[in-house]
Structure 1
Amino acid sequence: MTKILIVFGTRPEAIKMAPLVKAFLKEPGIFETRVAVTAQHREMLDQVLDFFEIVPDYDLNLMKPNQTLHGLTAAIITEMQPIFEEYHPDHVFVHGDTTTSMATAMAAFYSSAKVHHIEAGLRTWNKQSPFPEEMNRQVTGRIADYHYAPTKRAKENLIKENIPVDSIVQTGNTVIDALHYSIEKIEKDPGNEVQNLDAQLGGKEVILVTGHRRENHGQGFKRICKALKVIAREQPDIFIVYPVHLNPKVQEPVNRILGEVSNILLIDPLPYQDFIWLMNRSKIIITDSGGIQEEAPSLGKPVLVMRETTERPEAVETGTVVMVGTDSKKIYTETINLLTDTEKFDIMSALHNPYGDGQACNRIVDHLTNLTEKANKFTEATV
């Protein structure tokens, strides 16, 4: 039996790894599958676990107030060690660009387990942007034995870095797998929170806003809020809905600047399934999230990205995403253009999603199944 360990710690990771967990659990005759969470995020992580009905085998519960990257990295490596010593996984799956993924990959390397990197090959090649995510993904990529690239561009990035071609598999992004699963589940059971929010919004069009990136803290969020305030006042028939991240550096400027604007609805972060409903309900999305850049095109939603760089250039190139940074004028101008220029809106909302078809997890499971079969044949031949 091949032992695999799937490790994640944040809400975005959980969303993208949950369908992979479910895909591997469908193959109990081939794989023994266990899940470890670091709880780099706690409450938001638990919401996703509940929605996808996943109970971790190991929960490190590492989230602490005012935790530093130094302390978190050290804690993950240290606390993963006894799991590797007890379980001895053959293959360890990590995702993307989090501190959990980078530190777990290092711990797996120390324990001689094969490392599989989901969402591999995304790059800005600027180690300060996004910080610390860019270096996390590069370090994880150097450690990984197998790389699941979501797009052709990501695969090409890895080849440029001299990653062996036979270790790279282009799969699409698992977030699209999660999106398809979630929409189907939400339609069957929308939940009380969705029903209440729908009643608040009435028939009004919605602009959805999310923001949390470190590089936007301080003046960046002030400029963002300034733009949103002007848009709201000029477009009184539009509802701006902003689920505000729990970080105090986000909460303070957002609540201070936008708290009294009548058609801006500031709400707590939503459970994943409710957020997917809100994305689908929205006309335009303004965000600094990487995951939303991938999800929104599948829902036909134009996205304005409040970042100066992106490791997801495919959506920019296809035209489903426009980069606006934290420039108040750009945010305002591009939003108003989408609200008033029907032709531009229709073009952006109708474009193809470059990030996948919802079959990424099946491709990953098939890849490891083939690797396992080859290894078994080799073992039999040498006995």
Structure 2
Amino acid sequence: MQPPYKIMFLFGTRAEVLKLAPIIRLMQQNPANWQPVLVATGNSQLLNDTLAYLDFQIDFSVDSSNVTSINEVELLSQLLHNLNNVINAGQPDMILVAGDATTSLAASLISFYHHISLGHVEAGLRTYEQYSPFPDEMHRRLTDNLADLYFAPTTSARDNLLQEHHPAKRIYVTGNTSIDSVKHNLQEDFTHPLLQSISADHRILLMTMRRTDNLGAPMKRVFHTMRDIVETNNNLDLIFPVYPHPEEESLANDILGDHNRIHLIAPLNHHDFLNIAARSSILLTDSGGLQEEAPALHRPLLLLRDETERQEAVSLGGVKIVGTDPTTIQQAVFELLNDEKKYRQMELAEVPFGDGHASEKILKIVEKYLSQQ
């Protein structure tokens, strides 16, 4: 096969496009070798804002707007139907997907049926709990079962793949593209109106929380706990970018609203978010990406989940699992605020997810693979 190689990228969420963005940017810089084809499988305002921020032009848009409820079966069925048409129109040499969203699973099935090579960015992450996180764990495993190239972020992810008998010659430890984004986006002279509105002697807690399995009682517990923490520490501010989901917005306004040191804001673009995170004292999240970014930002992270598929960050000390139990969260925040030694240990924990050159490594592997086809 000869260049330029036509690589189709599929994404339906903000997290997916952010993971793939560093690879897409490198391809766009070398049109003689690469022809990236961008396929959006979602139409949320958050995804559209992210695409606009990245200045990415979509080649194909798969409309899934008529799926009115959170129903993975309906969504998967619709994606398979629509992506079949996209593949026929786009005729890619390879498909690249990232992570564990429904898009990745649909793309892996479509690539299999069309005999198109599939590369899985961020392959091999596991909790080995079938329903936790749901449905992410099984999406990732099934995608790996159909992939041709595995871009594992860590040696642990590689070992998971080897243990499952995936071919060793197709597994590459590349690091995670999220670290590429951290290195690209950090700005030493960064300023933001939100930071300027917070007293210089105050410490900042930055929280994100958006997983559907945390909606309802778990989210209520966390929100009440965070309000208590802010109210009992006069030199603390909490920043919470609220995910645009009706239930989350309602709970955030009801529990966290009307407090002058709690800042409920719209989701930030990735550049601003990373730079505000780098200037925060403690990060709290239930997401996957921030677990990777926090060690690279040298900021302690408290994970609002009961398990993680990124155990490396926990083992090396940069991330601590606290779940949604109020006492556990309060104790962990109190310890980091008052125990300088413990704070420094988490702050200086080793970064397990690569050196910021994952995208370059992935492109070299893909180029070698396709040149031999």
Q: What's the TM-score once normalised by structure 1's chain length?
A: 0.92
Letter in 1 for 2:111: A
* 1:48 has 2:50 as partner: yes
- Greater helix share, 1 or 2? 1
The answer as to whether partners of 1:131 and 1:214 remain within 8 angstroms in 2 is: no
Give the SS at the match of 1:201: coil
Give the SS at the match of 2:69: coil
Give the SS at the match of 1:240: strand
- The Cα of 1:208 is off from its aligned counterpart by 0.4
Residue 194 of structure 2 aligns with which residue? 197
Residue 380 of structure 1 aligns with which residue? none
- The Cα of 1:88 is off from its aligned counterpart by 1.4
* 1:141 has 2:147 as partner: no
Counterpart CA distance in 2 for 1:28 and 1:270 is 31
Which of 15, 19, 37 does residue 18 from structure 2 map onto? 15
Letter in 1 for 2:57: V
Letter in 2 for 1:119: E
Give the SS at the match of 1:224: helix
Unaligned runs of 5+ in 1: 376-383
Which of 258, 269, 284 does residue 286 from structure 1 map onto? 284
- The Cα of 1:20 is off from its aligned counterpart by 0.6
Residue 381 of structure 1 aligns with which residue? none
Counterpart CA distance in 2 for 1:218 and 1:293 is 23
Give the SS at the match of 1:245: coil
Which of 164, 171, 176 does residue 174 from structure 2 map onto? 171
The answer as to whether partners of 2:182 and 2:297 remain within 8 angstroms in 1 is: no
Residue 62 of structure 2 aligns with which residue? 60
Letter in 2 for 1:271: N
- Note the 1:90-109 alignment, pairs <5 A: 90-109=93-112
Residue 131 of structure 1 aligns with which residue? 134
Letter in 1 for 2:343: F
Residue 294 of structure 2 aligns with which residue? 296
Residue 379 of structure 1 aligns with which residue? none
Residue 183 of structure 1 aligns with which residue? 186
Aligned identity (percent) is 34
The answer as to whether partners of 1:42 and 1:61 remain within 8 angstroms in 2 is: no
Query: What is the aligned length?
Result: 368
The answer as to whether partners of 2:209 and 2:286 remain within 8 angstroms in 1 is: yes
- The Cα of 1:28 is off from its aligned counterpart by 2.3
Residue 344 of structure 1 aligns with which residue? 342
Counterpart CA distance in 2 for 1:136 and 1:252 is 30
Give the SS at the match of 2:272: helix
The answer as to whether partners of 1:51 and 1:273 remain within 8 angstroms in 2 is: no
Q: CA RMSD in A?
A: 1.5
Give the SS at the match of 2:320: strand
The answer as to whether partners of 2:185 and 2:275 remain within 8 angstroms in 1 is: no
- The Cα of 1:67 is off from its aligned counterpart by 4.4
Letter in 2 for 1:196: P
Q: Deviations over 1:271-296 (max 9, x none)?
A: 22221122112110011011000001
Counterpart CA distance in 2 for 1:202 and 1:195 is 13
The answer as to whether partners of 2:318 and 2:347 remain within 8 angstroms in 1 is: yes
Q: Deviations over 1:129-159 (max 9, x none)?
A: 1111111101111111111000000000001
Give the SS at the match of 2:336: helix
Q: Deviations over 1:172-213 (max 9, x none)?
A: 0001111212225xx67x5xxx63212212312100011011
The answer as to whether partners of 1:232 and 1:261 remain within 8 angstroms in 2 is: no
Give the SS at the match of 1:97: coil
- Worse-superposed segment, 135-144 or 79-88: 79-88
Give the SS at the match of 2:372: helix
Residue 227 of structure 1 aligns with which residue? 225
Give the SS at the match of 2:9: strand
The answer as to whether partners of 2:241 and 2:268 remain within 8 angstroms in 1 is: yes
* 1:83 has 2:86 as partner: yes
* 1:70 has 2:70 as partner: no
